[in-house]
Amino acid sequence: MADPIHQFEIVNLAPLVKIGATEIQLTNSAVFMMVAVGITAFLMIGATAGRQLVPGRLQSMAEVTYEFVADMIRSTAGEEGLRFFPLVFSLFTFILFANIVGIVPYTFTVTSHIVVTATLALLVFFTVIGYGLYSHGLGFFRLFVPHGIPGYILPFVVLIEIVSFLSRPISHSVRLFANMLAGHITLKVFAGFVAGLGGALGLVGWVGGVLPLAMVTALTALELLVAFLQAYVFTLLTCIYLSDALHPGH
């Protein structure tokens, strides 16, 4: 049976530059990141180049995506949150297209590696801290001090708030990574059953293989939903965290 983990292997395709002892290679992961960026660029630049008043199909896709993200920011972080629109929109489209491209057979799923998702989550995490300190100074740390808590349990509550804050990038990155990894392994395992049954049992096996094949079909549809949902969840949480940087205390 095919190895279900094999699809996540990083393959060096071409050496790019060498810095000291570290050689930087063009990997399959990097190629599919570029594919995701390329699709986004095509959708956003290519499709809206016509600037029609009555949008065509591609242009309305671009407009719907814009509206979707802008609405999400407005409803979670308020109008001020729109200054982070470029960041949030880039994150959403990058993750969405990386996930969707990953469903196509023989492609590589960029977001199934925790290095990638953790980098994105830490980018958001440090943006929140950086912007919070920049705009509110030390007042940003009032985020950890809730109002109306009696003095004797305040140190304990502050400790819990800090741990809760530190746990954000972990839950943020692990959720996306684990969902993509688990989904793709499940797909591969069920697809492996089809070939395995046919190879082992002959005709009976091929007939029985219809069941896992139906499962693979259903799972692919589910994966498409998960691909969108995880991009949505990641972006939504980004908005919620950014809203903490915008209003840590009033």
Interface residues with another protein (CB under 8 A) are: 68, 71-72, 75, 142-143, 146-148, 159-161, 163-164, 166-168, 170-171, 174-175, 178-179, 228-230, 232-233, 236-237, 240, 243-244, 246-250
Shortest distance, CB of residue 85 to another protein, whole angstroms? 14
What span, in angstroms and rounded, lies between the C-alpha atoms of 150 and 112?
44
Q: Which is nearer to another protein, 21 or 225 (CB)?
A: 225
* Nearest distance, CB of residue 33 and another protein, angstroms: 23
Nearest distance from C-beta of residue 118 to another protein, angstroms: 12
Residue 195: CB minimum distance to another protein, A: 31
Give least dist CB 140 to another protein, A.
11
Q: Which is nearer to another protein, 56 or 249 (CB)?
A: 249
Q: Which is nearer to another protein, 25 or 161 (CB)?
A: 161
Residue indicated by tokens 């956003």: 44
User: Which residue lies nearer to another protein by CB, 197 or 227?
Assistant: 227
In the complex, what is the shortest distance from the CB of residue 68 to another protein, in angstroms, rounded to a whole number?
6
Identify the H or E element spanning 16: strand 12-19
Name the token pair of 233: 């969840």
Q: CB pairs under 8 A, 24+ apart, for 160-167?
A: none
- Residue (of 41, 61, 116, 91) closest to 239 by Cα position: 91
> Where do the H-state alpha helices sit in the chain?
28-41, 57-77, 85-103, 114-136, 154-166, 168-201, 203-208, 210-246
End-to-end CA distance of the chain: 60
Our CB check for another protein shows the closer of 113 and 136 to be: 136
Nearer to another protein, 46 or 78 (CB): 78
183 touches 223 (CB < 8 A): yes
Residue 29 contacts residue 10 (beta carbons within 8 Å) = yes
